[in-house]
Structure 1
Amino acid sequence: MTLSTRNLKALPDIPTLKRLTQSLAMLDAMLSPEWEYRYYSFNAAWSDEAAMASMRNGSGDHWFAIFCQAGAALHGLAHEAPAFRPGTPWPGIFERLPGEFRANLLEEPAFTTSDSTFCLWRLSHEERWTCGPVELPPGEDPDGSAELLGILAGRPEQYVEFAADYYERDLDLGDVEAIYRHQPLSDALVRRVNPDLDMASLENDIAEIGYPRQVG
């Protein structure tokens, strides 16, 4: 069954999800030197208390994930989903969101949660991801979560397919697997992903994402 708010068992645990979103951001940084054209981003020092991962598809759909001491929470917007109601989230989406996430999510000016079509979270001591008591409209993907969250299942071949479609780049699966494993970046690995770049040109991105780099 496809990863979605109706099947959260396919979503990895918090540390694994954080590493995955860093990997996605690092791959995007190598394929798109211009930040505004990237699909996936990660800021390891987004605030004093939290790191933030994001996806923006350039067509109005997005998700934002917060990683903090309390755990992790993610909310997203799929503007063509049946559950999209501009200015008014579908009932129940944020109803049971733990208070630990409210300041970093609902009260954060950088996020527009009034249009969100889905939200999920997991406290650090919990063993599973949770959603609010939402009664979704009928449809195969009523809140858009299956379409937007699928990459978070963590299979490297998904990114290879994504890069071929979005960036029109044919990546070697082994190189993507290496980034998914957080293999420290080297000039050789960077140039295999994008021959037009080197480590020096990625210094700021590596620091912002918090991705490991080869020493020496």
Structure 2
Amino acid sequence: MNVHDLIRALPDIPTLRSRCRAMAALELLIGGNTEYGYFSYAPMWAPGVEAALMDDGSGGEYAVVFTADGAFGRGFDHESPMSPWGDEDIALWPGLVDTVPEVFRPWVTEPAFCAEEGVLQATVVFWRETSDTAWRAGEVEIPVGATDGAGRLFAVLAAGTSEGYRAFAEDYYETALDPAAIEHVWNLRPLTETVVKALDPDLTPARAAAAVALIGYPGGGTT
């Protein structure tokens, strides 16, 4: 999967936002990472900005920001030949950000997403304005036999199913997970003690409620 496949697979903005929040909630409930885990979600990342973040701890990362103008996403695969640091001339891959709409241009130079050289850490870039009927990306040509990293970075997000997430999580956390509990959180249903204990027997309902409340989980607690 490259960026062109990715933008065809992504749902509308509200659905994507909910999907990102669910993945962050599952990270909190399974992994116990309260900040900057594999998947995280910041409902107040900046004034008027929500952000879904991924960091695999091995040089792969992404960020999707949600604003009143729409959504902008960027992903960085350090192993991709399309990395800005692929040769001596530090520069973004041709076409990656050339056609980014003006409302999203500030994200191209956002310090949090750029290296010290002021270059956006990205091998994948996509966006969707609120008036758009589809996601968009630049006219990027992927090198033959190479990848931009979209498949590795965004596979779980693009799959968009609780089963897709469970397959990832069971491999990542090296443990079997309750399909029903995963689906419950994936659909952003109010947490129950049964669901919390199924995902982490050592996690108390009160701690679970406090954790998911920070990412704006519906209900923000357990029933």
TM-score, normalising length from structure 2? 0.88
Cα deviation, 1:124-180, whole Å, max 9, x if unaligned, reads 1111110011122112x5201012111112011111111111111211222111112
Q: Which residue is 1:142 aligned to?
A: 147
Q: Which residue of 2 aligns with 1:211?
A: 217
- The letter for the 2-side match of 1:184 is P
In structure 1, what is the Cα distance between the partners aligned to 2:35 and 2:18? 22
Equivalent position of 1:5 in the other structure: 3
Question: Can you give the 5+ residue segments of structure 1 that lack an aligned partner in the other structure?
Answer: none
Q: Which amino acid aligns with 1:110?
A: A
Query: Is this contact kept in 1: 2:109–2:120, CA < 8 A?
Result: no
After superposition, give the CA deviation of every residue in 1:33-80 in whole Å (9 maximum; x if it has no partner). Answer: 234672100011111111000111000100000011111110010111
Letter aligned with residue 83 of structure 1: M
Q: Structure 2: which amino acid aligns with 1:38?
A: G
Of 151, 169, 175, 2:156 maps to 151
Contact 1:185/1:212 (8 A) holds in 2 = no
Quote the Cα distance in structure 2 between the aligned partners of 1:101 and 1:198: 41
2:93 is matched with which residue? 90
SS of corresponding position for 1:45: strand
**4+ residue runs of structure 1 moved beyond 6 angstroms?**
none
Please tell me the root mean square deviation across aligned C-alpha atoms, in Å.
1.8
Secondary structure in structure 2 of the residue aligned to 1:132:
coil
Gaps of 5+ in 2: none
Q: 1:52-201, aligned counterparts within 5 Å?
A: 52-86=51-85, 87-103=90-106, 105-112=107-114, 114-139=120-145, 142-152=147-157, 153-201=159-207
The number of aligned residues is: 212
Distance 1:79 1:180, change over 3 A: same
Question: Is the partner of 2:177 in helix, strand or coil?
Answer: coil
SS of aligned partner of 1:151: helix
Aligned 8 A contact 1:56 1:62 in 2: yes
